[in-house]
Amino acid sequence: MGDKNIIAIADPHLGVVPGDVEEMIQFIGTLDPVDSDLLFLGDLFHIWAGPEKYHTSPVESMLAVLKNFRQQGGKVYLVVGNRDIFLAGHPQNKRLKNLPFDGIFPEYGFINLGGRQIMAVHGDTVNTLDTRYLKWRSTIRHPLFERFFDLMPSGWVKKIMFRLESDLQQTNLDYRKSFPVAEWDRFVDQVSADHSPGLLLCGHFHPKDLIVKKTSEMTAIVIPDWFKTGDCLRISSDLSYEQCRFRNG
């Protein structure tokens, strides 16, 4: 990837606030695809499914912009979040062949930058104590669940997807009240021991500010969500980083 930057964006939850898709499109328009690649750390939309038959107009608009970004020389990566469903098997999955991503990482992914590795995760499996959510996650990612959706009329699908989002809101209320420091520390230590990337990037937790933990070989960062802050992280080829804010106020 040479001297490119990576722009890491956590939890946009697009489709909730009027104009939020347009705002993201405007931000991407400020980037030079020759100099920057995009990394979404999950929950790109508030709730969406990968195959085209489930796409809404806002989803189509956003994906068209990402396709254009790639055509101009940029790369786009997506870590699957808890609100991104039916994305397994890309790019071999024919139902996902037109999605404008260079890589879709169901659990975690590695990106090489300046000869060193960045590991990207969404973060929803960090807290192993949140068993109710983890069971919900296992159900919604099961192949039979996707097959069940495929048998339904499209109108029903939209209603059920909003119901799924409502159910998700109820799965981890207690665990969203505070950041699970002990579980995060355990996770970081495990990643450092197993993979030892130069940089570990995580979303999901929606902190107000960056949460940074350093080990001897790795820096781990939980990034504030774009949804509330308009923040992202610009990472240079030497793995130095800068928190950037697109939104005013």
Could you identify the residue written with the tokens 């995580």? Answer: 202
Phi, psi of 195 (to 5 degrees): -125, -35
Residue 175 has a pLDDT of: 42
13 DSSP assignment: -
**Could you give the CA distance from residue 43 to residue 10 in angstroms, rounded to a whole number?**
8
State both tokens at 48.
């969406």
Tell me the mean pLDDT per 10 residues along the chain, length 249.
85 93 96 97 92 90 98 98 90 91 96 96 94 86 81 66 60 62 96 96 95 94 96 97 84
Helix axes 154-171, 131-140, angle to 10 degrees: 160
Residues forming beta bridges with residue 118, ordered by sequence position: 111, 199
Count CB atoms within 10 A of the CB of residue 124.
21
Residue 3 one-letter amino acid: D
Residue 239 has a pLDDT of: 96
Cβ-proximal residues to 68 (8 Å cutoff; 6+ apart), any chain: none
Fold of 5-245: Purple Acid Phosphatase; chain A, domain 2 (3.60.21)
Please provide the distance, in angstroms rounded to a whole number, between the alpha carbons at the two ends of the chain.
Answer: 33
Tell me the CA distances in angstroms from 113 to 5, 72, 154, 236, one per residue in order.
8, 19, 41, 8
Residue 148 has a pLDDT of: 74
Residue 173 has a pLDDT of: 47
Instruction: Kindly list the domain boundaries of the chain, sorted by start residue.
Output: 5-245
Residue 41 backbone zone (phi > 0: left; psi -120 to 50: alpha; other: beta)? alpha
Residue 164 has a pLDDT of: 63
Residue 99 has a pLDDT of: 97
Q: What's the CA angle centered on 11, arms 108 and 224, to 5 degrees?
A: 100
Instruction: Indicate the burial class of 166 (C-beta count within 10 angstroms; 0-12, 13-18, 19 or more).
Output: exposed
**Of the candidates 34, 41, 39, 29, which has an alpha carbon nearest to the alpha carbon of residue 1?**
34
Asked, as a colleague might, if the bond just before 33 is cis with ω within 30 of 0, I would say: no
Please, where are the H alpha helices in the chain? Answer: 20-29, 57-71, 131-140, 143-150, 154-171, 181-194, 226-229
Instruction: Indicate the burial class of 157 (C-beta count within 10 angstroms; 0-12, 13-18, 19 or more).
Output: middle
